[in-house]
Amino acid sequence: MHTSQIDLVAFGPEHLEGAVALSRQAGWPHRPEDWQMALAVSRGIAAVADDHQVVGTALVTPYGAECATINMVIVDEVARGRGLGRRLMQAALDIGGKRQLRLVATTEGLPLYEKLGFRPVGTILQYQGKIPAIAAADGIENACEADFDAVTALDHAAFEADRRCLLEHLAKVAEFVVIRRAGRVQGFAALRAFGRGDVIGPVVAKNLNDARALISAFIGSRPGAFVRIDTIADTGLAPWLESLGLTHAGGGIAMRTGGTGAPARSPYKTYALANQAFG
């Protein structure tokens, strides 16, 4: 492939096929539908060679004026070593503007992100596999439309940014369950089709037992299904996932700009990400 000139352009529908090919080259499970969902809530950049082939991508998913995630940063193997990753990241930083920016880094990408002002704040652990037959936990209900504002508020408290736009999109394609106590939503989880099967997340709860109960509601209804869960190491969820027979299949380093910041004051915590792209 001739790549003497590579231009960065706004990501459009014409770049989708090339983007899917890049993610497959990278060993990622994203289907065209997964890319389409990411694009629906993000602004994208495509790196296009002079033969019109897509050789790089980056997406920025904004959450209001507070924060954004940078994700789907991929450079074609044949275009590496030419500074394209830095160019894509600079374009993403420009889109992010003054927002706090977050991403999940690979070990290989860590040095570049640190040079651009990102700092590690945690470890992401990806678990996946065919799920066993287990009993669904008591006290979990299917969410209804009237729960949406409460779900959004809990997510905002745990994530420390307003992700209403993302949750509105998830509400169209995902199943939601909630824990309700004294008539109030006290935790939630979502499940949607992704990659090789389903992904469970986000999962927001007050404590580990509630998080396990929310996840069990989905696992209990899908014995034998392939599921993925991206959790944060310090939540303590990983040993339970391993006890279910799920395999640790990778992960990354959670990073953000603006330093590590003060600990969250909310009693609610994110136990599983929507996925590594969305946080």
Residue 50 belongs to domain with CATH number:
3.40.630.30
For residues 160 and 223, membership in a common domain is answered with yes
CATH number at residue 173: 3.40.630.90
For residues 84 and 203, membership in a common domain is answered with no
What pLDDT sits at residue 264? 56
The residue range of the domain holding 32 is 6-98
pLDDT over threshold 50, residue 243: yes
Least confident span in 20-24, 95-99, 144-148, 256-260:
256-260
In a domain, 114, yes or no: no
pLDDT over threshold 90, residue 88: yes
Show the 3-state SS of the chain. CCCCCEEEEECCHHHHHHHHHHHHHCCCCCCHHHHHHHHHCCEEEEEEECCCCEEEEEEEEEECCCEEEEEEEEECHHHCCCCHHHHHHHHHHHHHCCCEEEEEECCCCHHHHHHCCCEEEEEEEEEEEECCCCCCCCCEEECCHHHHHHHHHHHHHHHCCCCHHHHHHHHHHCEEEEEEECCEEEEEEEEEEECCEEEEEEEEECCHHHHHHHHHHHHCCCCCCEEEEEEEHHHCCHHHHHHCCCEEEEEEEEEECCCCCCCCCCCCEEEECCCCCCC
In a domain, 59, yes or no: yes
Task: Please tell me the total count of domains within the chain.
Answer: 2
pLDDT over threshold 90, residue 279: no
Comparison of pLDDT for 130 and 279, the residue scoring more: 130
pLDDT over threshold 80, residue 259: no
pLDDT over threshold 60, residue 246: yes
pLDDT over threshold 90, residue 217: yes
Q: Tell me the pTM.
A: 0.93
In a domain, 209, yes or no: yes
| pLDDT band, residue 32 (cuts 50/70/90) | very high
What pLDDT sits at residue 260? 47
| pLDDT band, residue 167 (cuts 50/70/90) | very high
| pLDDT band, residue 231 (cuts 50/70/90) | very high
